Amino acid sequence: MLRAILLIVRKDLTVEVRSRELAYTTLFFAVSCVLVFAFSLVQEGRAAEGVGAGVLWMAIMFAGNLALGRTFERERQSETLRALMLVPAPRPAVYLGKLTGIVLLLLLTEAVLVPLVALLFEAGLLSHPFWLTSVVVTGTLGFAAVGTLFAAMLVRARSRDVLLPVLLYPITVPVLIAGVRATVAIAQPEFEVEVVRFWLMLLVAFDVVFITLALWTFEPVMTD
């Protein structure tokens, strides 16, 4: 099964490296989001207090939504999703393969976003890189876990563009809240490990629940 996952990831990477469409568009969109927030929230030349964390996670969620939609749109157009479902690999492998691809794409975007937000919003985000990385990775994983499932589900549905955010945002609000609270705690001048650890544990719990649920539901939902 691991082999199947790796093959799927390799396929996606190969396609992506050739055109780089997804990476560039997602990155550009995320950066423009941050700029829009920066311009809207700046008062008297300085950003409002404590919004850096919120802006970071909002940008991740919006960019993630776009990336998910585009990834599966590409599959739909080339009808490769059907081909993937016919592959003699366990269905969960297809899900995990796509999930890995999405997470890699989002992590790449976040590598650019985090320093940008730290710079524009004067947020002390970079003071504890280990904790920040853990929080960002677990949060992205939780968001992508739900997003991959829903985006795959909606591939053949009507109004799929609009329905993805409608379904995705309410479910991932807990991940958003935990991610923002943890990031705010990291950016504080007086850093409290307990608070960060609490929110991080919550994120890990969400990840476990979401990925488990997604693995259970992927097969029945994708088969006719």
Partner 1 sequence: MRILIRTIALVFVLTMQLSPLAAQQPRQQEEFTPIDQLPPQEQLPAAPLLVGAYAFVLLMLFGYVVMVSRRLSTIRSEVDRLDADVKRIGKG
Partner 2 sequence: MPKWFQSTTLLCGALFAISPFVIANAPYESTMGLVQKVFYYHMPSAWVFLTASVICGIASARFLATGNPRHDRTALAAAEMAVLFGLLTLVTGPLWARKAWGTWWIWDARITSSLVGWMIAWAYLILRKYGGPGSEKLSAGLALFGMANVPFIYVSVNYWRTIHPATTVVPKLPFSMGFPLLFCLTCFFLLMFLLMKLRVHVAEQQARLDAIYLSLDEQA
Q: Which stretch binds partner 1 (CB under 8 A): 53-61, 72-80, 116-124, 136-144?
A: 53-61
Regarding 54 and contact with partner 1 (CB under 8 A), the answer is yes
Regarding 220 and contact with partner 2 (CB under 8 A), the answer is yes
The number of residues that bind partner 2 (CB under 8 A) is 26
Partner in contact with 153, chosen from partner 1, partner 2, none, beta carbon below 5 to 8 Å by kind: partner 2
Distance between CA atoms of residues 99 and 207, nearest Å = 12
Regarding 61 and contact with partner 1 (CB under 8 A), the answer is yes
Partner in contact with 167, chosen from partner 1, partner 2, none, beta carbon below 5 to 8 Å by kind: partner 2
Residue among 89 and 155 whose Cβ is closer to partner 1: 155
Residue among 89 and 163 whose Cβ is closer to partner 1: 163
Distance between CA atoms of residues 28 and 56, nearest Å = 14
| Contacts of partner 2 in 162-191 (CB under 8 A) | 162-163, 166-167, 170-171, 173-174, 177
Pairing of strands 42-43, 46-47: antiparallel
Neighbouring CB atoms inside 10 A of 194's CB total 7
Regarding 149 and contact with partner 2 (CB under 8 A), the answer is yes
Site string for partner 1, 167-196 (x = CB under 8 A): --x---x--xx--x----------------
Distance between CA atoms of residues 147 and 123, nearest Å = 28
Regarding 124 and contact with partner 2 (CB under 8 A), the answer is no
Regarding 34 and contact with partner 1 (CB under 8 A), the answer is no
Residue among 35 and 209 whose Cβ is closer to partner 2: 209
CA angle 202, 35, 19 (to 5 degrees): 85
Positions in the binding site for partner 2 (CB under 8 A): 146, 149-150, 153-154, 156-159, 162-163, 166-167, 170-171, 173-174, 177, 209-210, 213, 216-217, 220-221, 224
Positions in the binding site for partner 1 (CB under 8 A): 48, 51, 54, 58, 61-62, 65, 161-162, 165-166, 169, 173, 176-177, 180
